[in-house]
Amino acid sequence: MTGRLLFLSLVLALFNVQAFAQNGMVIQYPPNANVAAIAEHAGGAVVDCMPEANQCLLSVPATAHLSDSEVNWKEWNQGTALPSSPHSGFLHVASTEAADWYKTQPPLVLINLGNAMTFSTGRGVVVADINSQVDYSHPALIGHLTSGNDFVVGRPSGVAALNDSSASYLDDSSASYLDLVSITYLNDSSASYLDDSSASYLDGRNPAYSHGTLTAGIIAAVAPDAMIMPLRAFDDNGSSNSFMIAKAIRYAVNHGAQVINMSFGSLTDCAVLRTAVRYALDRNVTLTASAGNNNSATPQYPAAYSGVITVAATNLLDVKASFSNYGTGIEVDAPGVNIISAVPGNLYGIVNGTSFSAPIIAGTAALLRAEGVTGVAARIAGGTINIDAKNLSFIGQLGSGRIDILKSVNPQ
- Distance, CA of 341 to CA of 134 (rounded, Å): 13
User: Considering 263, 355, 400, 408, which one is annotated as catalytic?
Assistant: 355
Is 171 part of the annotated catalytic residue set?
yes
3-state secondary structure the chain: CHHHHHHHHHHHHHHHHHCECCCCEEEECCCCCCHHHHHHHCCCEEEEEEHHHCEEEEECECCCCCCCCCCCEEEECCEECCCCCCCCCCEEECCCCCCCHHHHCHHHHHCCHHHHCCCCCCCCCEEEEEECCCCCCCCCCCCCECCCEECCCCCCCCCCCCCCCCCCCCCCCCCCCECCCEEECCCCCCCCCEEECCCHHHCCCCCHHHHHHHHHHHHHHHCCCCEEEEEECCCCCCCEEHHHHHHHHHHHHHCCCCEEEECECECCCCHHHHHHHHHHHCCCCEEEEECCCCCCCCCCECCCCCCCEEEEEECCCCCECCCCCCCCCCCEEEECCCEEEEECCCEEEEEECHHHCHHHHHHHHHHHHHCCCCCHHHHHHHCEECCHHHCHHHCCCCCCCEECHHHHHCCC
Give the strand pairing for 339-343 and 347-352: antiparallel
User: Considering 172, 211, 239, 324, which one is annotated as catalytic?
Assistant: 211
Is 87 part of the annotated catalytic residue set?
no
User: Considering 48, 129, 164, 171, which one is annotated as catalytic?
Assistant: 171
212 contacts 236 by C-beta, under 8 angstroms: no
Is 355 part of the annotated catalytic residue set?
yes
Active-site positions read 171, 211, 355
